[in-house]
Amino acid sequence: MTKRVLVVEDNELNLKLFCDLLRAHGHEAEPVRDARDALERAQLTRPDLIVMDIQMPHVSGLELIEAVRRDVVLRPTPIMAVTAYAGKGDEDRIREAGADAFVSKPITLARFMQSIDELSELADARALH
Ligand code: MN
């Protein structure tokens, strides 16, 4: 089923890749290039899922994930964090911040879409409550 996905990524090539992939699989993708715009855009568009880069200028993905989890309306939105794998400690911190899934760069298309499918099911399950 079609999901509306907010994609927060400062790297233009990755942003295009993620949005193209999502659209090729029937989803709607909303690109956000500047992390400073991400929370407001999420509040305006109420996406079903969020794909979140971690290393970004001005505001880190970790801070944004925490901000989403503090927002009463956005709180249940499943979040996939995408970042260069730097060790188990990093993955733990990202999950503790509130990410539901973690995909390391360079991504494989199969792994990315598998994670989107899992988060779509999670979004449906949370919407039932
Ligand atoms: Mn980045």
For residues 38 and 121, give the distance between their C-alpha atoms in angstroms, rounded to a whole number: 23
User: Rounded to the nearest whole angstrom, what is the distance from the C-alpha of residue 123 to the centroid of ligand 1?
Assistant: 25
Handedness of CA 47, 56, 31, 13 (dihedral sign): negative
The string of pLDDT tens digits covering residues 47-100 is 999 999 999 999 999 999 999 999 999 999 999 999 987 788 889 999 999 999
The string of pLDDT tens digits covering residues 14-38 is 999 999 999 999 999 999 999 999 9
**What are the residues whose beta carbon lies below 5 Å from ligand 1 (ion)?**
10, 53, 55-56
User: Rounded to the nearest whole angstrom, what is the distance from the C-alpha of residue 55 to the centroid of ligand 1?
Assistant: 4
The pTM assigned to this predicted structure is: 0.96
CATH for 4-127?
3.40.50.2300
User: Rounded to the nearest whole angstrom, what is the distance from the C-alpha of residue 129 to the centroid of ligand 1?
Assistant: 34
User: Within the chain, where are the H helices?
Assistant: 12-24, 35-45, 61-70, 88-97, 109-127
User: Rounded to the nearest whole angstrom, what is the distance from the C-alpha of residue 11 to the centroid of ligand 1?
Assistant: 6
User: Rounded to the nearest whole angstrom, what is the distance from the C-alpha of residue 56 to the centroid of ligand 1?
Assistant: 4
Residue ranges per domain, the chain?
A: 4-127
User: Rounded to the nearest whole angstrom, what is the distance from the C-alpha of residue 24 to the centroid of ligand 1?
Assistant: 23
For residues 83 and 72, give the distance between their C-alpha atoms in angstroms, rounded to a whole number: 26
- According to DSSP, residue 45 is labeled H
